[in-house]
């Protein structure tokens, strides 16, 4: 498979990038590391006239903590660098685990955090060659009126499988977006939409600038169940971040990924732990409750029943690991 | 000829692959590396429908595209068949997603792809059949009119009195198993370059396990004589039984080359690879075995149904191979086999490893294990009691001149700590054994099973060995050089192996039925002996001894027991040529099994697998494999271990990972990302035990190691999983979802009781 022809823009500054982005509209695709986009171009899933490379923009680089303790990670940061970043490894172990879980080392050497946050949903009816797709009736993603995954669905049910996202949502992260018109911030959890095509609320002309993680001392864990560790998309992933002690937890967010069209927050499981603390019995109860919190689980790549059973097992595993983990040291 | 280990200078010692450095540095040539002057590139237009009527084909837009040199359809090759019933291009009805409809040749691959998309084919979609069950319903339509009941081929055989055998059995057990479609996943994709620019000679570069079969079937299909077809197989990037016959893309390249008068290359894209490889084929097995009170097999019955997909090409052989397998492993007094190939509108089936035997071993090995458990017998005792032994002659007429089965089982069990572990492991840990046998070549493809070899020795002592046996990664060329070097007292590195061109090399049936080491090895040994005889004349005269007293070793020739009198080998060679006689040393030899049919030797193996099941995810980790294999004699022990490793990998991969997922005839996972092969990270520690039974007919006692180990891996891993779970999984692959389902059901049952 070969790449189609496209124009290539490599702006020198963020302002120049936003100006180009603002005028080009949908005929332009933002290129981070290209690990997903270039494959989709080969599959003719996207047909942009031009690519805008943002990977080298200095404004998208850097990992820093401000005076208030907020962590800022530039969207252009390479995943390999983040996975081994001492600050992330020490203070946000769940996030470092999640980033290390993305693709293979080769992929992480190229891929950026911003690219992972904006990773298009995936589906085996669409992420195939153009010739392969010729055997299928068009679906929502290919300008049809049907979802092959869930026949009754009124929109695209492709799977969201960006591994960094559940880990960041569990940390209550916020997203910094900018366009030539200005800047805005929103919780990462609110960035995603339950639609496989319009999967996020990024407005035309907007670019992901950075991720902001609010100050808090949390224990955090990320686990990914994949056939081949360090290569595959997950069958399911689970991130958890816990504030307080095992006996008296103050905060807990559990977020499942790779199970549906957007990340799913497991409220019921978290509530059980917040009420009872982390005990063997509460962990079992929280694992059992996970099923109720899961929204529509997709039957892509594995049977849906398996994903539900799997999330139960992953909740148990994440909570047990949180229970054992030491609270990261303060500065 | 020396055959005691101490007398061998080359054979039996670790010899790095002769082409190892070339492989590692990317210098080994494969078909896709070949660029011929004026070469065009082709793309195939394939049916997007599992079954449809072709209403019209409009090639005008494609032909009008600049750079396009030719478009071909059924009209260009109306009488050209691939195999026995598949026309190269469909005229009326397409029968599976991927069925060839047209092809185009252009100056470059991108233009060819663009042109292929411009060929407009109008179809009327028709109902299609996707399962064995649907295809064999009495009211099912016929995919091919002459295949009544959609049965493409069937075979049945009774040996001995089966009814009496079952009647006289104290226990009878029946099990059914299913294996799903899988894909050979060659390192090298399907590719062919044809040059038929002159009418009386077709030259083709392509990876193959058997140039002779390609030559014959291309010649037959294209109405040429065999000698007019030249097959050049450079290195072959993997075979696994899948590269034994001509596929449509070979004919496409030939026909386009004839039409354009230029060489034409066609190569598969990543997802086309699953079609070209014929990665279809669900198989259903029913095994029934009757045993005495003491566990002696009295009767065995196998009923096997293959989803053979849209076309039969040479799949019939799978019925022959699976029908006789049981007799190569156990002493059987009565057996019945019934097997059939059923047409569906899926991708045609082709076997993956060992001619369908590896897949079958998944079920057969579990069946025998279950039978032993039912009798309260340790499976090891069961295999030892029923396994074939040296000197046994089977009902199918095979004489076992060597047999290390019992030794393999005992040594493997001891090293694995079987007695300490079997039945005593904690929950979710399991241990299982698999045993197997495999033929070292067999008659059946032709009346002969001949391999031939030439060897020439030039006056600096270096040698060229000409063989038709391809090296597809199994290091066969290194083994052949070692055999010749042993006979001639040379080193393997003194020898250049010339192969891969039917205009140059002598006949060889090829690298299939695990016949390379045994048959070509015997041929090479004969050729080397012939060359040695020519050198002995001068050497014997110089040393004043009889030729039979000469020792050729370490690049020297000397009288037996008198190495101090040695003359350098190359001096003997030099003086033989630079003499009044002027003899240029050329040895020739061939080997053909003296039997009317069947196999001269079987190899045997036993493997024990240990696994751990993760109750949260259902994942199975293979912790350890102890693998023994009776290779007769290990020509190159390190490569024997490598062959075992490769098959352990592929075997556990088939049991736990691989499946061509088909939905309405379409492959859902046609990529190496979604069709999951494990990597080195998923590989367990493999402990090798090489058993040497020294076969009386093999070269230096050697037998095969080509597919023997894998038929042990599949049942060993499956039995270990059953042992860990407390119940077997009768469908391959054993997926995490099946495991979690079983664990969930068992937990519920426990809670309920």
* Domain total in chain A: 2
Assess if residue A90 is contained within a domain: yes
Specify the residue for token string 């009326």.
B92
Instruction: Single out the residue in A54, A70, A92 at which a domain terminates.
Output: A54
CA B587 – CA B590 distance, rounded (Å) = 10
- A 10 A CB-CB count for B698 gives 28
* Boundaries of every domain in chain B: 5-29+445-591, 34-127+187-238+243-276, 283-440+599-748
Class of domain B283-440+599-748: alpha beta
Residue A91 shares a structural domain with residue A212:
yes
**Contact: B666, A302; criterion CB under 8 Å:** no
Vertex A310, ends A309 and A315: CA angle to 5°? Answer: 105
Name the band, by pLDDT with cuts 50, 70 and 90, for residue B444. confident
CA B231 – CA B244 distance, rounded (Å) = 13
Assess if residue A201 is contained within a domain: yes
Per DSSP (E only), the strands in B109-150 are 120-125
Residue A229 shares a structural domain with residue A283:
yes
The closest alpha carbon to A38, from A46, A192, A148, A123, belongs to: A46
Mean pLDDT for chain B overall: 96
Instruction: Compare CB distances from A129 to B271, B616, B741 and report the shortest one's residue.
Output: B271
Residue A27 shares a structural domain with residue A176:
no
pLDDT digits (tens, 9 = 90+) for B644-671: 999 999 999 999 999 999 999 999 999 9
Residue A222 shares a structural domain with residue A165:
yes
Assess if residue A315 is contained within a domain: yes
Residue A108 shares a structural domain with residue A214:
yes
Assess if residue A22 is contained within a domain: yes
Provide the number of CB pairs (under 8 Å) joining chain A to chain B.
77
Say which DSSP state B508 is in: B
CATH number of the domain bearing residue A82: 3.30.465.10
Residue A34 shares a structural domain with residue A85:
no
- Asked if residues B572 and B556 have their Cβ atoms less than 8 Å apart, the reply is no
Residue A41 shares a structural domain with residue A169:
no
Distance of residue A126 Cα from the nearest chain B Cα, in angstroms = 10
The region that residue B586 occupies, defined by phi over 0 for left and psi between -120 and 50 for alpha, beta otherwise, is beta
**B5-29+445-591 and B34-127+187-238+243-276 in the same fold:** no
CA B396 – CA B685 distance, rounded (Å) = 37
Residue A169 shares a structural domain with residue A28:
no
Nearest CA in chain B to A123: B668
What residues in A contact B670, CB-CB < 8 Å? 128, 132
Q: What is the pLDDT of residue A296?
A: 77
Q: What is the pLDDT of residue B486?
A: 98
Class of domain B5-29+445-591: alpha beta
CA B259 – CA B271 distance, rounded (Å) = 27
Query: Residue B435 to residues A297, B71, B364, B420, B609: CA-CA distances in angstroms?
Result: 42, 52, 10, 20, 11
Assess if residue A136 is contained within a domain: no
Alpha helices (H) in B604-735, listed in sequence order? 637-656, 708-725
**Contact: B740, A1; criterion CB under 8 Å:** no
B34-127+187-238+243-276 to CATH, choices 3.40.50.620, 3.90.1170.50, 3.40.50.300, 3.10.330.20: 3.90.1170.50
Residue A211 shares a structural domain with residue A301:
yes
Q: What is the pLDDT of residue A331?
A: 60
Please tell me whether the peptide bond between B733 and the residue prior to it is cis, using omega within 30 degrees of 0.
yes
Nearest CA in chain B to A4: B110
Residue A195 shares a structural domain with residue A237:
yes
Distance of residue A306 Cα from the nearest chain B Cα, in angstroms = 5
Q: Which of residues 152-191 of A touch B (CB under 8 A)?
A: none
Give the gyration radius of chain B's Cα atoms. Answer: 27
The closest alpha carbon to B282, from B208, B369, B362, B338, belongs to: B362
pLDDT digits (tens, 9 = 90+) for B128-148: 999 999 999 999 999 999 999
Assess if residue A111 is contained within a domain: yes
Q: Which residues of B are the active-site residues? A: 707
Specify the residue for token string 């077997």.
B728
Residue from A301, A309, A320 to probe the interface with B (highest B Cβ count within 10 Å): A309
CATH number of the domain bearing residue A14: 3.30.43.10
Domain that holds residue A45: 1-54
pLDDT digits (tens, 9 = 90+) for B338-387: 999 999 999 998 888 888 999 999 999 999 999 999 999 999 999 999 99
Nearest CA in chain A to B267: A1
pLDDT at position B2 over 70: no
Residue A95 shares a structural domain with residue A182:
yes
pLDDT at position B77 over 50: yes
pLDDT at position B271 over 60: yes
**Burial tier of A10 (Cβ tally within 10 Å: 0-12, 13-18, 19+):** middle
pLDDT at position B568 over 50: yes
CA B606 – CA B409 distance, rounded (Å) = 5
Nearest CA in chain B to A223: B617
pLDDT digits (tens, 9 = 90+) for B700-731: 999 999 999 999 999 999 999 999 999 999 99
Tokens of B108: 């470059």
**Contact: A135, B740; criterion CB under 8 Å:** no
Instruction: Single out the residue in A32, A54, A76 at which a domain terminates.
Output: A54
Alpha helices (H) in chain A, listed in sequence order? 14-24, 37-42, 79-83, 86-91, 93-100, 105-110, 113-117, 130-133, 164-170, 267-276, 280-293, 304-324
CA A121 – CA A260 distance, rounded (Å) = 9
Residue from A122, A126, A135 to probe the interface with B (highest B Cβ count within 10 Å): A135
The answer to which of A26-30, B47-51, B53-57, B221-225 has the lowest mean pLDDT is A26-30
Q: Does B156 touch chain A (CB under 8 A)?
A: no
Distance of residue B752 Cα from the nearest chain A Cα, in angstroms = 18
% of chain B surpassing 90 pLDDT:
92
Assess if residue A74 is contained within a domain: yes
Residue A271 shares a structural domain with residue A241:
yes
| Residues with pLDDT less than 70, chain A | 331
Nearest CA in chain A to B96: A135
SS3 call for B279: strand
Q: What is the pLDDT of residue B278?
A: 82
Specify the residue for token string 């040539």.
B29
Q: What is the mean pLDDT of residues B249-253?
A: 97
- A 10 A CB-CB count for A104 gives 14
**Contact: A310, B48; criterion CB under 8 Å:** no
Instruction: Single out the residue in A15, A35, A54 at which a domain terminates.
Output: A54
Distance of residue B751 Cα from the nearest chain A Cα, in angstroms = 15
Q: What is the pLDDT of residue B3?
A: 62
Taking every pair of C-alpha atoms in chain A, what is the biggest distance, in angstroms? 59
**Contact: A232, B270; criterion CB under 8 Å:** no
Helix orientation angle between B357-374 and B637-656, rounded to the nearest 10 degrees = 80
Q: What is the mean pLDDT of residues B455-460?
A: 96
Distance of residue A87 Cα from the nearest chain B Cα, in angstroms = 28
Assess if residue A149 is contained within a domain: no
């Amino acid at each position: 498979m070969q790449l189609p022809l496209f124009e290539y823009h490599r702006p020198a500054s963020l302002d120049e990038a936003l100006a180009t982005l603002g005028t080009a509209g949908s005929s332009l695709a933002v290129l981070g590391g290209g690990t997903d986009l270039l494959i989709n171009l080969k599959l003719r899933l996207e047909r942009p006239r031009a690519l805008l490379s943002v990977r080298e923009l200095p404004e998208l680089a850097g990992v820093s903590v401000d005076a208030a303790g907020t962590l800022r990670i530039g969207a252009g940061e390479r995943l390999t660098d983040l996975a081994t970043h001492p600050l992330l490894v020490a203070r946000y172990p769940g996030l470092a685990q999640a980033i290390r879980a993305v693709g293979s080392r080769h992929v992480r050497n190229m891929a950026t955090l911003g690219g992972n946050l904006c990773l298009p949903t995936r589906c085996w009816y669409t992420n195939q060659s153009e010739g392969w797709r010729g055997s299928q009736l068009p679906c929502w993603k290919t300008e049809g009126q049907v979802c092959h995954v869930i026949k009754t669905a009124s929109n695209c049910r492709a799977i969201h499988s960006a591994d960094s996202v559940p880990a960041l949502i569990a940390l209550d992260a916020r997203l910094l977006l900018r366009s030539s018109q200005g800047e805005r911030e929103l919780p990462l959890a609110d960035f995603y939409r339950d639609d496989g095509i319009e999967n996020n609320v990024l407005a035309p002309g907007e670019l992901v600038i950075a991720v902001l993680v609010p100050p808090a001392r949390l224990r955090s864990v990320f686990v990914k169940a994949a056939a081949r560790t360090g290569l595959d998309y997950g069958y399911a992933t689970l991130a958890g971040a816990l504030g307080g002690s095992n006996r008296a937890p103050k905060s807990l967010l559990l977020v499942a990924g790779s199970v549906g069209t957007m990340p799913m927050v497991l409220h019921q499981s978290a509530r059980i732990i917040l009420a009872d603390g982390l005990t063997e019995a509460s962990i079992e109860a929280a694992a059992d409750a996970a099923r109720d919190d899961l929204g529509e689980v997709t039957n892509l790549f594995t049977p849906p029943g398996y994903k539900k059973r799997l999330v139960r097992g992953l909740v148990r595993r994440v909570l047990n690991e949180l229970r054992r983990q030491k609270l990261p040291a303060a500065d | 000829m020396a055959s005691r280990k101490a007398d061998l200078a080359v054979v039996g010692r670790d010899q790095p692959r002769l082409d190892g450095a070339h492989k590692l540095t990317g210098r080994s040539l494969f078909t896709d590396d070949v660029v011929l002057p004026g070469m065009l590139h082709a793309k195939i237009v394939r049916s997007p429908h599992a079954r449809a009527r072709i209403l019209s084909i409009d090639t005008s837009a494609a032909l009008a595209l600049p750079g396009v040199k030719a478009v071909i359809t059924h009209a260009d090759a109306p009488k050209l068949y691939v195999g026995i019933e598949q026309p190269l291009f469909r005229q009326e009805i397409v029968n599976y997603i991927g069925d060839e409809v047209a092809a185009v040749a252009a100056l470059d691959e991108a233009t060819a792809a663009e042109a292929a998309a411009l060929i407009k084919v109008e179809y009327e979609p028709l109902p299609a059949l996707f399962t064995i069950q649907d295809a064999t319903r009495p009211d099912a339509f016929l995919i091919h009119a002459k295949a009544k009941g959609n049965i493409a081929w069937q075979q049945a055989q009774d040996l001995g009195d089966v009814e009496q055998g079952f009647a006289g059995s104290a226990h009878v057990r029946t099990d059914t198993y299913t294996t799903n479609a899988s894909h050979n996943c060659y390192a090298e994709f399907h590719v062919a370059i044809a040059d038929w620019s002159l009418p009386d000679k077709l030259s083709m570069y392509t990876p193959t396990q058997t140039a002779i079969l390609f030559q014959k079937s291309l010649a037959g299909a294209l109405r040429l004589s065999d000698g007019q077809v030249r097959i050049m197989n450079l290195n072959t990037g993997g075979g696994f039984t899948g590269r034994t016959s001509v596929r449509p893309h070979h004919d496409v390249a030939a026909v386009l080359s004839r039409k354009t008068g230029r060489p034409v290359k066609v190569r598969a894209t990543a997802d086309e690879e699953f079609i070209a490889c014929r990665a279809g084929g669900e198989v259903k097995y029913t095994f029934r075995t009757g045993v005495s009170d003491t566990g002696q097999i009295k009767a065995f019955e196998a009923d096997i149904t293959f989803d053979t997909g849209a076309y039969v090409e040479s799949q019939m052989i799978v019925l022959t191979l699976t029908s006789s397998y049981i007799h190569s492993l156990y002493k059987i007094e009565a057996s019945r086999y019934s097997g059939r190939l059923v047409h569906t509108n899926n991708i045609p089936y082709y076997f993956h490893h060992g001619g369908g035997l590896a897949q079958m071993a998944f079920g057969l090995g579990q069946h025998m294990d279950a039978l032993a458990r039912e009798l309260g017998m340790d499976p090891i005792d069961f295999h030892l009691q029923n396994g074939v032994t040296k000197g046994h002659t089977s009902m199918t007429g095979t004489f076992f001149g060597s047999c290390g089965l019992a030794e393999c089982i005992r040594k493997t069990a001891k090293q694995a700590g079987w007695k300490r572990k079997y039945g005593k492991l904690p929950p979710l840990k399991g241990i299982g054994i698999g045993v197997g046998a495999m033929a070292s070549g067999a008659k059946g493809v032709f009346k002969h099973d001949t391999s031939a070899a030439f060897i020439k020795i030039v006056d600096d002592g270096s040698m060229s060995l000409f063989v038709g046996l391809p090296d597809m990664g199994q290091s066969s060329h290194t083994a052949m050089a070692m055999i010749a070097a042993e006979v001639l007292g040379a080193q393997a590195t003194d020898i250049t192996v010339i192969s891969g061109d039917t205009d140059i090399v002598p006949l060889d049936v090829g690298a299939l039925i695990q016949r390379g080491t045994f048959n070509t090895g015997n041929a090479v040994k004969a050729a080397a002996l012939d060359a040695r005889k020519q050198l002995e004349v001068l050497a014997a005269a110089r040393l004043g001894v009889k030729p039979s007293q000469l020792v050729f070793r370490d690049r020297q020739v000397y009288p037996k027991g008198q190495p101090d009198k040695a003359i350098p080998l190359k001096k003997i060679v030099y003086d033989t040529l630079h003499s009044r006689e002027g003899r240029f040393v050329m040895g020739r030899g061939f080997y053909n099994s003296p039997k009317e049919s069947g196999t001269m030797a079987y190899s045997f193996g036993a493997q024990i697998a240990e696994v751990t099941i993760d109750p949260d995810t259902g994942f199975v980790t293979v912790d350890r494999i102890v693998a023994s294999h009776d290779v007769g004699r290990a020509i190159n022990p390190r490569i024997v271990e490598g062959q075992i490793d490769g098959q352990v990998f592929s075997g556990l991969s088939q049991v736990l990972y691989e499946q061509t997922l088909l939905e309405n005839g379409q492959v859902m996972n046609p990529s190496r990302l979604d069709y999951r092969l494990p990597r080195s990270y998923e590989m367990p520690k493999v402990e090798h035990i090489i058993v040497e039974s020294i076969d009386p007919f093999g070269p230096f006692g050697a037998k095969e190691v080509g597919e023997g180990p894998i038929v042990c891996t599949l049942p060993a891993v499956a039995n270990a999983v059953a042992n860990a779970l407390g119940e077997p999984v009768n469908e391959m692959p054993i997926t995490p979802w099946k495991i979690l389902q079983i664990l969930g059901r068992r937990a519920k049952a426990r809670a309920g009781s």
